């Protein structure tokens, strides 16, 4: 089965809605009739439920994925402590192997029609002493989607992230504004400032929701602006 679409979703920081946007991409792919897999190769902040480690973000992507692969491929490292992955791994005497992450993606991409990979934290989060999330993204060579959490400081964070993506030789092909702080003043002005400065199209503004909904987030996005999006012209 040939791969029809794949991308890497990063964010301006942790807690900006990467998982929601990743789930929205999966929802949109399902609507387009393309079976898809959501991958979160590393997840920190897991708890035991009935003797099994559980993470909300991992569960969300699994629920929105429409192509089944072994769970060990979609999340290679599921860590308990909700902190930077290299710290969480050290607490459990786990050594993160970046090559394992890349192999898992290659295996999924070889069988799935579409793959959406969610990063961890922001774009430059350390994974080991010498490797960070940007290195992992560069190894995959995927187009990048940036999720901008609309809150004070997001302009600087978004523009620096775009620079970091370009510095790794990757292409930022779209960005999503996510209203994570409904009380933030001048949101429209901030979005417009980024629209003028980021070298990629705005795919949509995800509204603030009491209960985040991948379907509602997908409704707010125009993914036909992405190169290679199924059905786009």
Give the mean pLDDT per block of 10 residues along the chain (233 residues).
90 96 98 97 92 92 95 92 93 95 97 96 94 96 97 97 98 98 95 98 97 97 96 65
> Given this model, what pLDDT does residue 31 score?
96
Q: Let me know if 4 is a catalytic residue.
A: no
HEC string for the chain: CCCCEEEEEEECCCCCCHHHHHHHHHHHHHHCCCCEEEECCEEECCEEECCEEECHHHHHHHHHCCCCCCHHHHCCEEECCCCCHHHHHHHCCCCCCHHHHHHHHHHHHHHCCEEEEECCCCCCCECCCCCEHHHHHHHHCCCEEEEEECCCCHHHHHHHHHHHHHHCCCCEEEEEEECCCCCCCCHHHHHHHHHHHCCCCEEEEECCCCCCCHHHHHHCECHHHCCCCCCCC
Instruction: Spot the catalytic one: 4, 18, 27, 40.
Output: 40
Domains and CATH numbers, the chain: 5-225 (3.40.50.300)
> Given this model, what pLDDT does residue 232 score?
67
């Amino acid at each position: 089965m040939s791969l029809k679409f794949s991308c890497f979703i990063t964010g301006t920081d942790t807690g900006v809605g990467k998982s929601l946007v990743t789930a929205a991409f999966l929802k949109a792919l399902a609507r387009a009739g393309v079976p898809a897999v959501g991958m979160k190769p590393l997840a920190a902040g897991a708890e035991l439920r009935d003797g099994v480690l559980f993470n909300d973000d991992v569960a969300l992507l699994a629920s929105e994925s429409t192509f089944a692969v072994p769970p060990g491929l979609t999340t290679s490292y599921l860590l308990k402590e909700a902190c930077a992955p290299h710290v969480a791994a050290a607490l459990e005497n786990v050594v993160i192997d970046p090559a394992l992450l890349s192999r898992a993606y290659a295996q999924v991409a070889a069988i799935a029609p579409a793959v959406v990979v969610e990063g961890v934290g922001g774009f430059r989060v350390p994974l080991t002493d010498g490797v960070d999330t940007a290195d992992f993204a560069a190894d995959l060579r995927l187009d990048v989607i940036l999720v901008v959490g609309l809150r004070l400081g997001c302009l600087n964070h978004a523009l620096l992230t775009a620079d970091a993506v370009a510095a790794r030789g990757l292409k930022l092909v779209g960005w999503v504004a996510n209203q994570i702080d409904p009380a933030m003043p001048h949101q429209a002005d901030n979005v417009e400032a980024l629209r003028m400065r980021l070298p990629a199209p705005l795919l949509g503004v995800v509204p603030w929701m009491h209960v985040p909904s991948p379907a509602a987030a997908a409704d707010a996005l125009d993914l036909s602006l992405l190169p290679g999006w199924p059905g786009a012209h």
